[in-house]
Every structure is written in structure tokens, then in C-alpha cells.
Chain A
Amino acid sequence: MTALPQSTERRLGLVIDLDLCVGCHACAVACKSWNAGGMAGPLTDESPYGAEPHGIWFNRVHSYTAQRPEDHGAPLTMHFPRSCLHCENAHCVTVCPTGASHKRRSDGIVLVDEDKCIGCQLCAWACPYGAREFSAVEGVMKKCTLCADRIDNQDLPPADRQPACVMACPTKARLFGDLADPDSEASRYAAQRGSVDLYGELGYQPTNRYLPPKARPAPTAAVNETEEEVQAEQLPPLLKWLDRVLSR
């Protein structure tokens, strides 16, 4: 079994603002595209033009309808992008019999060393978030790398050293940063908006934070509701407009 680092210098991760997510799948496809040709590629697709196309995705977006009391009766359309949360207490690592699954001491990113992976899939069973993707074709486990090959790549301009999903997101619903640093933009945003630990009660201590959709206000109403039904004869005559002095 594989040991987790006692602590990590940084906790790199994502803050995902569900209040801004429109469910466009940009993050999922940008992730697929970058990582297919990156350090964890290929993200093999089986039957890509066939009856049951299915491939490896590190990020998948699920859409729901939610009825919450705080939304004053209106059903909410909610989108939930799901990827590895790079947990502090990552059981996907501790169950790994070969050391393939590991958490980087420097920044906490959970990675798979494919050379060591035997494809036993214990890590997938251990992950409560369904973030692991096994490629039967490649025979190894695949997962979100937080685009380590972008973050680590000193050849990239600094602005590009962040995950593909974050750079792609058209509603800026994703922030990347060091969640161990309370002053990072990501930490401050998460704190300010009351972020939630996904399945916090399970104790995996996920690094990624989700921000729930804000409560929706009551429908516009009431200002005129007590007014009696408007009668045609009560309408203002044209004369009311007659004396308006206008300036052109």
C-alpha cells in the first residue's frame, strides 16, 4: 500500500463556482483535448464513431434540476463538473499496491505513475467521487493531473501555467490556486462564498472546493398586487401627456 505525504508544501486545487456554471462542457472538452496529448495521454476513446462511444474523461459535467426552498419555488437548472478533488486524505493513494497512485509532496496533486500501475482498479473503488477512469485499452488507471504538465512547464508563459479547464471556462466559474495559503485568490474566494466540502463527512478532506448556487430571490411581484383591477376608464387621458415640456 502507498503512503501519503505527512503534509504538502502547497495544496493546489480548484474552486468551482456552481453559481456561474452554465453546463457548457467547455472545461470537460478542453481537459480532454489537452490531456489526450499530454503526460497522461492518450485518453483513449473506444468505438468513437460507433454505437457506444466511450472514452477517458478526467472531467465530466452532470446536469440536474434542483428544487430548493431558498429559491422560492422555481426549479433550478444546476450543473456539476466532476473531477478529482486531490484529497488530503486520499484513499485512492493508500489503497494502491504498487505506489503508482501517489500524492506529490510539493503541491498535493494526486497522480498515477503509469509505469507502476497494474490496472487493479482498487483506487477507483476507493474514490467516493468517481474521479478515476480506467482505460481497458491502455491497461492503466487515468485521472485528472490538475494539468501538472502545464503547471510544471517553465517553457509556458506564467499565465498559461494553470489547468486547461480553468483557462477554458467561459463563465470564469473555475479558479486555480493554493488552498493551503489562506491569502490566495482561490482561498479567499472560497471563504467569502462559503464553499462546501464535497462529502466532507466521509473524511477524505478534498482540496477542491465547490461553491453552491446562490439563493434565488422571490419572483418580481407584489408591488401592484393589492391594486384593484385597472379599469379602462381610469386610464390616463391623452391630456396627461399634453403639457409635458420636452427638450430636444
Chain B
Amino acid sequence: MIEIKKTTCYMCACRCGIRVHLQDGQLRYIDGNPEHPVNRGVICAKGASGPMQHLSPARLSAPLRRVGPRGSGQFETISWEEALQTVSERLGRIRQDDPDRLAFFTGRDQSQALTGWWAQAFGTVNYAAHGGFCSVNMAAAGLYSIGGSFWEFGEPDWEHAKTLWMWGVAEDHDSNPIKLGLSKLRQRGAKIVVINPVRTGYGALADEWIPIRPGSDGALALALVHELLRTQRVDLDYLVRYANAHWLVIKAPGHAHDGLFARDREGRPLCATGGEHVPQLVAADTPEISPLLIGEVRLPDGLDALPVFQLIVERYLQPEYAPEAAAKVTGIPAARIRALAAELARIAFDEAIELAQPWTDVYGRRHESMTGRPVAMHAMRGISAHVNGFHTCRALHLLQMLLGAIDTPGSFRYQPPFPKSTPPPNRPGSRRGADGRLDAAPLGFPQSPEDLLVDEQGQPRRIDHAYSWAHPLAVHGMLHTVIRNAWAGDPYPIDTLFLFMANMSWNSAMNTAQTIGWLTDTDQASGEYKIPFIVYSDAYASEMVAYADIVLPDTTYLERHDGISLLDRPISDADGVSDAIRQPVIEPDRDVRGFQSVLLDLGARLGLPGMCNDDRSPTYPGGYAEYLWRHQRAPGVGTLAGWRGADGQAQGKGEPNPEQLKRYIANGCHWHAEIPAAGRYYKMANRDYLNWAQQLGLLPGEPGTAEPIVMQLYSETLQRFRLAAQGHGRVQPEDALRSRVERYFDPMPIWYPPFESQTAAAAGYPLAALTQRPMFMYHAWGSQNAWQRQIATRNYLYVHPQTLADAGLQSDDWAWVISQHSRIRVQVRASDTVEPGTVWTWNAIGKRRGAWALDRNAPESNDGFLLNHLISDQLADQPLANADPVTGQAAWFDLRVRLEPCAEAEQGVEPAFEALASPPTGIKAPALLRFGAKLRQRWEHES
């Protein structure tokens, strides 16, 4: 008998709807759910190989306790009770003494609404997920500039765009919606332009490939800005309606208010309008005014002020932003840059579109149609993973704003709950109350130096140094610094490192070899591990398992409940809002538990607020499934927005509904609400949208009270940090970081070369080196997957043929790849589709011998390799993270290398690591896989 159960995929971060086909209770097949708003029935190679993920021999099967030295992989199986007792006793002591001695970091967590709330209840500031080395630059630059973001929080207008520019996008978030959209664009004949050193993945569909040098995209974007300004091809009306182009900026060097907005008594930003003799100052949000964009004005307090737009023009018309300057760093000829700018302007303005859709703006004015600037942009990893990624992403948003191409027909569009205020209002938790709880979730959006997590001396309060002066806007935390800092006791020693599916001893670490050393290093005097206790939860025998003291085995994604919540990473699209759940479709056959339920269990044992009742009984005895429908974050607001209220009729806000999960399951495990037609564009200032968003609780306040979201060409928030660096204000950086903060907290986008290219030794490392995921393993855990690994069991280093020849190499030669930090030995291959100054490889296919239940001779460990070994986790010239100075984003795309031929006898991958022992799971990898053999017998019998 065939039974089809619908749930949500977990093979990457896309979170598509899937149909799991069970034949007599056995897993038969997984395909896409045609009714699901994310993937509309399609599925990718990862999703389709779900059965092999579920049946992986690398699955853990019971809780483990380390019995040999850390890293030896020697474990004994223990009961859940023993495991949970051990962990809760330890965490209980920590919570009593100093909650910050627990560092709780999750990897590709899709339940941060829960894990962040748990950390807040525990009271540790040391919490984050993997965003710090993923895409925080995209999130932060977007949220501080336009109140939304590329990534999964916005999308190109697939229906109306006439051109799409993809910057640094490889096989990237979010995978199936992008593929569906690209197909639409291509069939419509829209022009696809990819700006990328490598032409892979989506680049195959591009009409035009602009092979840019890594890390120089910001220079190109600002040269395009220069050209738009020079040719006066800028949407000024859009800029004063939806952005802060006309806001007045105080010009008073040395003054505490220098660079801040001129404001009225109520704190509203001011602008100038043309008066009869002198300009008049009026609140900048006043409708029906004609604000000035140029001209200095004298404020009542005697200070002078200039409109933002004037600052923009003055800066970006400088020769340093001209195409000739950008040509030198990007490798793109100046004439082509000028032509590209002209093309952008031509499509935005000369091919503007008009949708016959009346709408009403936030001031109540009716417009008969929606004007569209059909230039869409998308950007991701190649922008994000550089030390200049925050400003580069801001430069892209500046370019979009000047073109009037944000949330108009044909342009980039917000996905609800975005746009939000710039930045969103929640600040990072900082102080503990009497119940030990933090005053807010540990991750939030600093708006001024007062929001930083620094002590009285200006030193970091977090183990990862997020929200410190070194990385003030590290809004996703900095998982990539945790292990070094925990080992070094910087700024203090921790007791327990608690990780969830974060492979920090392998492909999720920069400087992997040393990281492994820190995990196992002991104090010479006491013999104790420098990181005293490590708890790790994962479903699989990843490289990290060997470094845990206690292992909490997670289920597979088909065996548990999950909530894909608007409080976490939404799965909405530009026309509607969505959330989803996972339901268990198969019973686990091992002694494993869903991590989220385990976390709630631990919370109850620890007596954490919100997780246990007055009588110490657990608040959610039904585990995560019960939490999903019953937990309220604020009155009426919970994890899931659909079918709320006692009768299940409410959307967004409403009382908890005990039948809610059943309603989700009946609807294919997802919920979707469409934005009214009049509210689908200009969301930042569209009354219909804002009312709708408030009704659903996506924006605060009662419907009708929403303020417009004003896009920030000029960021006053950044200027506040710069002023602190200049000596103003109570919270001050240490002197060593003053000039750094002052330079990189420029309120307008800047471009600077990656730091690794600026070191004295840089000349000896002429090539950029990139690592990216292949489409069939993007954001996935594919190496133990019998089907995915048949597509690729190993990687090569891809090199432009000329560059290969210059290095005296040929395809399939072994070569040394040498960085300022380390060297690896790998096999090289020629590729035409990479710019000559860049080499690249597929990430995370290389595995450590012994991990993932793979054979000791698996190509993943014999021939596959990680570029990570070459990437320093710190800057070459100072003890700071190799990360963006604004956001702390790990700069793993900044890597510079040189190639050298190997001696003839030198073969095989270096560095080679000792094999890890397999943890005791009782599951053996089969020598032969005949998946489906039994299913066929039944099939034949029935037919």
C-alpha cells in the first residue's frame, strides 16, 4: 500500500515542500509538493536523494560518552537519562555560577527562534548560529540600509524584470525558487548578467558573464554609481519619497553631532525646502513637499547641514570612483563599466514599466498605477565572504536605490515580514534579570555603541567577540572565532561548549588543522582540556563527533517535528507570507531524539523560565511538537502563524490552537497568506501592505499606525559608532581599535581591498582562491549520501589554462597551493570558465578519513581536500579575526595563494590526518545497496 505524507525538506536551507511516498510503511520515494509555495512541485538533486540521507550508515544511534582521549573517537553508549543528567548537572552549576560560561552555538540550525529563546532563558550571551560565516554581511548591510535583504529575504521580480544582475551568486540561497525564476526570465528573454570570477551553476544561463576579480565587486558597484551620477540618470523622486536623500546631515567636524541627522524637537529628521529667500526646514517625512537635494543650510542651533544626496554626489563623483579606477582593481575595462551603467539606466528609465494596479501610499494618497524599474539584482556569497562585504553589499543597495529599483515592478522585491525598520528594533540581550534570564535574545541589532556587548574597559563580553569594537554589528554572532577564543580563554575561559550540527573540526572551520589542536589541547599544569567540556548534537557521525565528551544523537528530518517560523528564517515570497512545519513521517528505529525536544527537556531539568512550571514539571511534556503550537512569544504570537485562535480561524496573531499542527498537516505542512494585490510593491510605503503586515503581526502596532520604512542611503547608525571612535560618547573603543572603527564605520558605502591583499607578503600570493558548493550538495550533508557521492566523490582545484601553464602545470598534476598561512597538496585541472587570477574548488567534498561512515579508502579523504586549511582564522598582522570589521563575517573568500609544481614523488593530498575511529552506532555501511529490491517484489506482486 502506498501512502503519501507531506512534510518539509531539510536537505538544504531552501525548505521546499516534499511528498514522502511510503510503501507498506517503508520509504519509497520523495518528490516535490506541487501545492507548496516555495518549490511548486519541483525538487533538486539533494531533495531527491533524501532517502539516502535518511538511510545513511553514518546515522548516530544512541547517546555517547567519550571514554578515550578527546579526538580518538572512543565512546561508550549511554542512556538518554544518563546523558541528560550529566549535561543538566553541569549546565545547572554553570548557570548558578556564571551563565556566560556556557557557549551554545548551532550550525545550520533551522530553529533559531527556539535556540535563541533557550539561550536567553539560560542567560548566556554566548549564543549564535552559523550566520557569521555564512551571510551576515548580506543580512546586516540589507537590514541597516533598506530594511530587507538579498538572500532569502527578497527576490527578483521574476515576472517583470527585464534584466537580472547576479553578483557573487553561485549555487546559492534559495535554490529552487531561484532556478524556477531563472527559467522564467530566460524564457521571457530577460537579460541575465552574472558578475562572478567563476562561471558555474546559475552562470550557465547567463547572457553575459562579467569575470570580476574576487573582492572587487564594491569597486564596480561604486563606479556604476559614479556613472549614474555623472550622466544624471538617477530616480530623484523615488529617492526623496522612499529613501533619505533629502535628510539633512550635520556638518560640524569635531562636534559630537557631526554627521548625525538634523532633527526637530520631536526627533524627526529634517530636510530643507525652497523658501522665498532662505530654505525652510521641515520634517523630512512631510508629504507634498519639494525638498532640496543640494545646498548647505544653517540650523537653528547654528550648525550647518547638508542633504544626504549632496554628500553622495560629492563623494562618488570623485575620480577615485571613476570607471578608470575601478578597471584597475576589477579587471573590467572602463569602457565596459560605462556601458554597463548606461545599460542599467536605459532599462530602468527608458524601459520603465507601468502596472495598471492602483495603490495607496502610507500618507493616504491614491496612485493609479505602479511604476517599475525593471532592473533586478541578487547577490550572495561572493559578496558576503570578504572583509569588505558589508560595504560592498551596501554599495549594491545604493546602486539599486539610485535606480529606484527596490520593491517596484521588475526590480528586487521584499519578502514579508520584510521590510522592517532600518535596522530592526530588537537589540542584543545584555543584562540578566532576577530569574537569570537575559533582557532580550542574545542576537539583535545594535543602534549605537550603548548596545554593544563590551565591559567598562571596552573589552568583549562575548566569547566570539561579536558586538565588540572589533566587530560591532556582528548580528549573527561569530561561530568561526569560538573555538580559538574558548581555547585561549579570551576574554575568559568557558566551561562548556554546546554545539548543534556545526562541523567545527572540519569544513566549517577556517584554519582547520589548528582548530583540531585547540579542541584537544590540555593545560600543562592540570592536564585538563583547555575547553573543559564539549556537548555535541548531530544526526550523523560528522568529523565533530570525535571531539565531543557527550554526543546527543538527533533524528533524521523525516523522523521529527520542526517549525519553519517567521520568527526565524522565513520562507515567504514577494507576493505572500508563508511558514511551515515538519512532521515525523517515519518512526526512528534507533535510540535518538529530536534535538529541539532534547533542548526543551534540558530546559525543564534546569528550571529555565518558560520551560518548567512552578512545580518544576516540564511546561512542554509533549516536547517540541507541543511547544510549536502552545508556546507564545508575546500574547497571541507563537512559532506558527497559521490557524491560530481557539477556532483556528486567526492568522498571524491569535490564541494557541491545540489543533494547529493537524491543520498544517492537512494543508501539506505549510501555511501561506497572500498580500492584497494593491500591496505587492512599494511595500516600504504602501498603506495596504503595511496594514496587512500589522494585521498579521509582521510589523508592530495596530493596523493603520505603521510608519513608512525609509531606506538609508546614508546610515546614521554607522556614524554613531564613528563618532565614538572620534572620542564622543560614554561607550568608547580601546585606543588600538579607534582608527579601525572610524575608517570602517563610514556612513556611506566605501570600497577597500581585502586585507589579505594588503599585507607586505601579498605579492607572493598572486591568485585569489575560492571554495563553493556544487549545486547537488549545496548547503547539504551529501558525502555520506550514496547517491550524491556518485556525482562527485572528490574535488579538484580548477585553474585557468593560461595560469596553469604559467605555473608549469598540466591538468591532473599534483600541485602545492600555498597561502600566507599554510600549504596543501591537491590535484589541479584546467577550466576556461574562471578569470585567470582566480582558482577555485568545490567545498566540503573532502572528508576526514573515518568520518561519515565512509570507507578508509574513500576518495573523499584520499583525494578530496578542503581549502579551509589555507585560510587563516586571524589577520596576518594583528590578533583580530579574519573577518569583516563591521559585521565579523568570516572572510573565507579573501584567500590568496600561489601554485607550485610538486616534486615527482609527491602525490596524494596534504595535509593528511589520522583516521577517526567510527563511533559505536551498530550500523554498518553495506557493501552493496539494493534499495528498492523489496519494494519491487511488492510492486510485481500487486501488478
Contact = CB atoms under 8 A, between A and B. Distances in A.
Contacts of A235: 230, 317
Interface string B769-790: 0000001100000001011111
Given A29-B48, A216-B208, A221-B339, A169 B857 contact: no
B336 interface: yes
Contacts of A173: 183
A170 to B, nearest CB: 4
A35 B931 CA distance: 10
Contacts of B786: 45, 48-49, 53, 55
B925 A241 contact: no
A198 B263 CA distance: 70
A238 B760 CA distance: 40
A197 B206 CA distance: 25
A60 B855 CA distance: 24
Contacts of B324: 229
B939 A39 contact: yes
The size class of the interface chain A forms with chain B is 35 or more
Nearest to A55: B790
Contact of B241 (A28, A155, A248): A248
A202 interface: no
A43 B931 CA distance: 7
Contacts of A35: 932
Contacts of B45: 24-26, 28-30
Contacts of B639: none
- Most A CB within 10 A of own CB, among B2, B832, B925: B832
Nearest to A239: B294
Contacts of A168: 31-32, 42-44, 48
Interface string A167-200: 1111111000000000000000000000000000
Nearest to A245: B290
Nearest to A36: B932
Chain A interface helix/strand/loop/mixed: loop
Interface in B318-339: 318-319, 322-324, 334-336, 338-339
Nearest to B862: A51
Nearest to B242: A248
A51 B935 CA distance: 27
A172 B936 CA distance: 29
Interface string B171-184: 10001100110110
B695 interface: no
A47 B925 CA distance: 9
B933 interface: yes
Interface stretch (A8-16, A72-80, A97-105, A122-130): A72-80
A57 B31 CA distance: 17
Interface in A23-67: 23-26, 28-30, 32-39, 41-55, 57, 65, 67
Contacts of B182: 22, 171
Contacts of B46: 29
B199 interface: yes
Given A22-B182, A25-B791, A37 B936 contact: yes
Contact of B936 (A38, A55, A78, A225): A38
Contacts of B57: 49
B650 interface: no
Contact of A50 (B788, B831, B857): B857
B929 A37 contact: no
A170 B204 contact: no
B29 A33 contact: yes
Q: A-B pairs with the 5 shortest C-beta distances?
A: A41-B932, A170-B179, A37-B932, A36-B932, A48-B786
Interface of A: 19-26, 28-30, 32-39, 41-55, 57, 65, 67, 74-79, 137, 149, 155, 159, 164, 167-173, 216-217, 219-225, 227, 229-230, 232, 235-236, 238-242, 244-248
12 contacts: A29-B776, A34-B29, A37-B931, A38-B936, A39-B939, A39-B940, A45-B787, A217-B208, A232-B322, A238-B310, A247-B237, A247-B288
Interface of B: 2, 23, 28-32, 34, 39, 41-51, 57, 171, 175-176, 179-180, 182-183, 186-187, 191, 193, 199-209, 230, 232, 236-237, 240-241, 246, 286-295, 309-310, 313-314, 317-319, 322-324, 334-336, 338-340, 342-343, 775-776, 784, 786-791, 793, 831-833, 853-855, 857-859, 862, 925-933, 935-936, 939-940, 943
